[in-house]
Structure 1
Amino acid sequence: MSHSSPAPMSRRHFLRGVGVALALPWLESMPLFGQVAAGAAAKTAGPPLRLGIVYFSNGVEPAHWWARGTGATMELGPALASMAPHREDMVFINGLYSQAALDSSSPHLGRMNLLSGAPVSLDPGEIRVGTTMDQVLAAQIGHHTAVPSLVLGIEPNELRLEDGLSMIYGSSLSWISPTKPATKEIYPSRAFDRLVGDGTGRQLDRSILDEVREDSAGLKRKVSRDDHVKLQEYFESIRDIEKRIERANREERLEGWRPTLAQPNLPRPANELPQLVPEHMKLMLDLTVLAFQMDKSRIATLMLNNDLSQMNFRFLQGVQGALHLDLTHNGKAADKEAMYLRTNQFHIEQFAYLTQRMKEIKEGEGTMLDHSILMMASSLFDGDAHSADRLPILLAGKGGGTLQTGRVLDYLTAGDENRKVSSLHLSLMDRMGVKLDRFGDATARLAGL
């Protein structure tokens, strides 16, 4: 009877605890097998670049969604009125589209590829849409922060069917893989707990070495005497570094860039879901700012509502009815169109609030907004007509000096090859430090961005 030999250990070994991986030095007594490159986080001389994406469902009223001009004299359509104070900090983009969404026979759920550009499967037995841009970034650069990407929402995931398709499409903006949506957090309290702890909801109150103690004890029994001495010296150096970081934190003199906030500046939200929609949205926006300010995450998405949302907007004066059936599909009745416009304005007010919050936070010689890229978008243009021939997209922030703001970019007549929304995603990922040859249906960056 043959016995399989134990798999050789890598000379480049990792000790692991709950949510912790500690790379060890090269150990001569370990066989040279399956080496893993040590990817240390690069030191940052200045504030890191963040990407925040805010999604609203059901599109816009086209007559009120426009911008023209530049800078402080830019004119904005009624839907964008709340962005007037931020005209010099924004880029209005018109005419981008996704061919896969345009070709889909599902008027709503088939359009839910805003961040992937890949076709949504119309087979009821298969859930499939492409990995989204935010999750591509999280896989590449998310290790720099406790929370690789913050995925937030207001409405829960829905399990019902619509057009014969799963509403998981309509409930999910962010996809870890083509078949797996990222877990969307709708409870502010749970999002808060992830941010003030280690990314899992657990509070940080123990040393890294305490976390990996069990694994390290097993390793010591397997190495030579010389490597045992080397390990002991290594552990002592780690403990010394921990003590010096703790002391420097207290004295606020860490070298290089330092987050402007060491502890949360807002109280922990209640465990229950907020019952008022504006309160819920504001909390999630504040938590996004908190994540960026504490450098707990550099990538965040927030769904203000699910696709086909029945969110009731009676909290807005003069507005009655549910977003999808009552307000979006308004039959062009003047009173209903006015209510639909007010929902558009409300959505943009949330983006303006996020922009203002980040604009008020000083970082070095600039602001947090200067060191960020914010994106506001929907998966439809004319919500009443289900049109996806162009997408409502608004950017804010200077992207660490990589994005010229105060502009209107119109690609509507540039030709289909030159107006792919996935080209925008390639351009944004470039700025975040992740360069791909292609994404979605695009191989070229967005000209003029």
Structure 2
Amino acid sequence: MSSTTRRNVTNFQLDRRNFMRGAGVVMGLPWLEAMMSSTSFAAAPTAAVPTRMAFVFFANGAIMKDWTVKGEGKDFELSKTLSSLAPVKDDCLFLSGLTHDKARANGDGGGDHARNSASFLTASQPRKTGGADIQVGISVDQVAAQKIGTQTHLPSLEIGIEGGRQAGVCDSGYSCAYQSNIAWRSPNQPVAKEINPKLAFERLFGMSLTDVKKSQDRDFYRTSILDAVSEDASKLSGRLGKTDRQKLDEYFTSVREIEQRIGRAAPQKRQLPPEFEIPQGVPADVDAHIPLMYDILTLAFQTDSTRVATFMLANGGSNRTYSHLNVKGAHHQLSHHRDEADKVADLQKIDQYLAKEFARFVQKLKTIPEGEGTLLDHSMILYGSGISDANRHRHEDLPIVIAGKASGKLQTGRHLVYEKETPMANLYLSMLDRMGTPIDAFGDSTGRLTNL
């Protein structure tokens, strides 16, 4: 750390778990230099910086010829689909050869899309049922959340883009719960995702059922959540050094900008009489919805509101349309392209668009200073699907990227190729190790991944 940075540190000490409060709001803080003592810099410069883990799921696999990078180790070239990751290439691991065997039929017949999402983070075979007797397995995110979730305001955060049903039959005799969830608190209890940006934002900042009236009085779209904590914020700012004050200002600007985007994206007219109750809703435009949810996830990690998260870009087997990409047809239908060139091209456009949005998120994490590195340096974000070639319902050689160095515990900037049929569960064991939440076995694991 430079002497200039040191001079900006005051004698004021701030605990990472401090919050700003007001009018029903509990607002976390970004990492600040005041969270470390002046004597701790040389001894343990990252002691106050936690490691975060997130899983971003996309449906219907990918056009693998345009996904798979060329080369191995540090000597590799990004593929067409992943080209937008070029600015953060050295901050990512590209993995090939991993398999989700439990997404396969294994005697259960059709239903690959339900199994794809259900097994993605559980590495377990879902029971084929459309009734209440669903069963699959606890998910890797919840294993970590159960061990470290008490250290943060939220044990974990589950967000998504598409709503889903928790009952009924959706895919070849499988419960809709399997397609709608990737996070499972127990083998028969999914953790429902939040798809409404407003509700996800308010959950992040501590809104509870008892705060609903206060929230309505504040009028989310007319008064910033920052106004509710302005008194605490003013007191805190006056005690911080110059660098920390600048970081706090940048953080507040980011929060207010997200609030404004939530207001603009809400699918209703903004000119409403004061007595009109604003309805809940999600953005009608997926091109606005996806980056907004990524930015809420960024805030969750930046404020240490949670250290574990999942984000479903779509439900398993999603048939969403992407008209803004000039794509004809819906996602699931296109995924069964039968090698028709126009359908393959349209599906690749969707793959590349989703990868581009992920790249934007990763690049944003890299711009946020934390400790002696960045928020990305202290994160471990897996982006992938439980299907590779959806046209043939293949579940081996999955499309997987991990962004972030996990606080120095991942050697990024490489393409790692593992032996055929290596279980994804082996990767999850290795990720849990890096979160400080190790377990002996998980799902269909056979060991831990080497060379990470």
- Structure 2 partner of 1:251: 239
Match of 1:197 among 196, 199, 206: 206
Please give the per-residue CA displacement for 1:351-391, whole angstroms capped at 9, x wherever unaligned.
Answer: 10110110111112211100100110101010111111222
Among residues 240, 243, 257, which one is paired with 1:266 in the alignment?
257
Counterpart of 1:169 (choices 172, 175, 178) is 178
Match for residue 281 of structure 1?
290
Partner of 2:53, secondary structure, is strand
Change (3 A) 1:427 1:250: farther
SS in 2 for 1:374: strand
Deviations 1:234-271 (A, max 9, x none): xxxxxxxxxx9996575237xx9xx9677534343234
Corresponding residue of 1:108:
113
Amino acid at match of 2:396: D
- Report the TM-score, using the length of structure 1 for normalisation: 0.75
Counterparts of 2:25 and 2:294, CA distance in 1: 26
How far the C-alpha of 1:78 sits from its partner, in A, is 1.3
The alpha-carbon distance between structure 1 residues 430 and 297, as it changes in their structure 2 partners (threshold 3 A), is: same
Q: Hey, what does 2:6 align to over in structure 1?
A: none
Q: Distance in 2 between matches of 1:129 and 1:245?
A: 45
Is 1:124 the equivalent of 2:134?
no
Amino acid at match of 2:372: E
- 1:399 matches 2:399: no
| 1:382–1:388 contact (8 Å) kept in structure 2 | yes
C-alpha spacing 1:333/1:369, structure 2 compared with 1 (3 Å): same
8 Å contact kept, 2:46–2:372:
no
Give distance in 1, aligned partners of 2:394 and 2:365: 32
Does 2:442 correspond to 1:433? Answer: no
Q: Sequence identity of aligned pairs in percent?
A: 37
**1:262 and 1:63, CA in 2 relative to 1: closer, same or farther beyond 3 A?**
closer
CA distance in 1, matches of 2:210, 2:204: 7
Change (3 A) 1:342 1:245: closer
Tell me, in whole angstroms, the C-alpha distance in 2 between the residues paired with 1:298 and 1:83. 23
| Match status 1:375 vs 2:366 | no
Question: 2:208 and 2:395 mapped to 1: Cα distance?
Answer: 36
Inter-CA distance 90–421: structure 2 relative to 1 (3 Å threshold): same
* 1:267-320 alpha-carbon deviations (Å, 9 max, x no partner): 432343101001000110000001111111111111001111110111113x11
Corresponding position of 1:83: 85
Contact 1:190 1:201 in 2 (8 A): no
Q: Would you say the 8 A contact 2:130–2:176 is kept in 1?
A: no
Q: Does 1:324 align with 2:319?
A: no
Alpha-carbon distance in structure 2 between the residues aligned to 1:301 and 1:201: 26
1:186 has 2:195 as partner: yes
Contact kept? 1:70, 1:406, Cα under 8 Å: no
Match of 2:153 in 1: 146
Q: Distance in 1 between matches of 2:397 and 2:75?
A: 25
C-alpha contact (below 8 Å) 1:54/1:301 kept by paired residues: yes
* Unmatched 5+ stretches in structure 1: 1-17, 21-42, 206-243
Relative to structure 1, the CA distance from residue 182 to residue 201 in structure 2 (aligned partners, 3 Å threshold; closer, same or farther) is: farther
Are residues 291 and 200 of structure 1, via their aligned partners in 2, closer, same or farther at CA, if it must alter by over 3 Å? farther
SS in 1 for 2:323: coil
Decide whether the 8 Å contact of 2:46 with 2:371 is kept in 1.
no
Kept in 2, the 8 Å contact 1:72–1:87? The answer is no
Q: 1:347 aligns with which of 338, 349, 354?
A: 354
> For the residues of structure 2 that align with 1:64 and 1:382, how far apart are their CA atoms?
11
CA distance in 2, matches of 1:143, 1:19: 19
Q: Is the 8 A contact 2:60 2:387 kept in 1?
A: yes
| Match for residue 442 of structure 1 among 442, 445, 449 | 445
Match of 1:94 among 86, 93, 96: 96
Stretches of structure 2 that go unaligned for 5 or more consecutive residues are 1-23, 27-44, 215-231, 264-279
Instruction: For residues 216-244 of structure 1, give each alpha carbon's deviation from its aligned partner in whole angstroms, at most 9, with x where no partner exists.
Output: xxxxxxxxxxxxxxxxxxxxxxxxxxxx9
Contact kept, 8 Å, 1:74 with 1:87, in 2: the verdict is no
Report the 3-state secondary structure (helix = DSSP H, G, I; strand = E; otherwise coil) of the residue aligned with 1:347. helix
Which one-letter code corresponds to 1:351 in the other structure? F
Task: Give yes or no for the alignment of 1:63 onto 2:70.
Answer: no
1:251 partner letter: R
Residue 392 of structure 1 and its aligned partner are, at CA, apart by 1.1
Q: Is the 8 A contact 1:116 1:440 kept in 2?
A: yes
* TM-superposition CA deviations, 1:80-136 (whole Å, max 9, x none): 111122211111101111222233533221233011111110133321111101011
Larger Rg: 1
**Structure 1 residue 395: Cα displacement:** 0.4
Give 1:70 deviation, angstroms. Answer: 6.3
Q: 1:358 to 1:262 in 2, by over 3 A?
A: closer
- In structure 2, do the counterparts of structure 1 residues 307 and 314 end up closer, same or farther at CA, with 3 Å as the change threshold? same
Amino acid of the structure 2 residue aligned with 1:266? E
Q: 1:131 to 1:334 in 2, by over 3 A?
A: same
- Conserved? CA contact 1:71–1:88, under 8 Å: no
Q: Amino acid of the residue matched to residue 279 of structure 1?
A: A
C-alpha spacing 1:199/1:290, structure 2 compared with 1 (3 Å): farther
Q: Which moved more, 1:128-137 or 1:99-108?
A: 99-108
Local SS of the residue matching 1:315: helix
SS in 1 for 2:377: helix
1:291-306 to 2 correspondences below 5 Å: 291-306=300-315
| 2:73/2:416 contact within 8 Å kept | no
Taking a change above 3 Å as real, the CA distance of residues 198 and 47 of structure 1, as seen in their structure-2 partners, is farther
Matched position secondary structure for 1:287: helix
2:307 and 2:208 mapped to 1: Cα distance? 13
User: 1:14 maps to which residue?
Assistant: none
Q: Is the 8 A contact 2:283 2:289 kept in 1?
A: yes
The CA RMSD measured in Å over matched residues stands at 2.9
Structure 1 residue 68, shift from structure 2 partner: 3.0
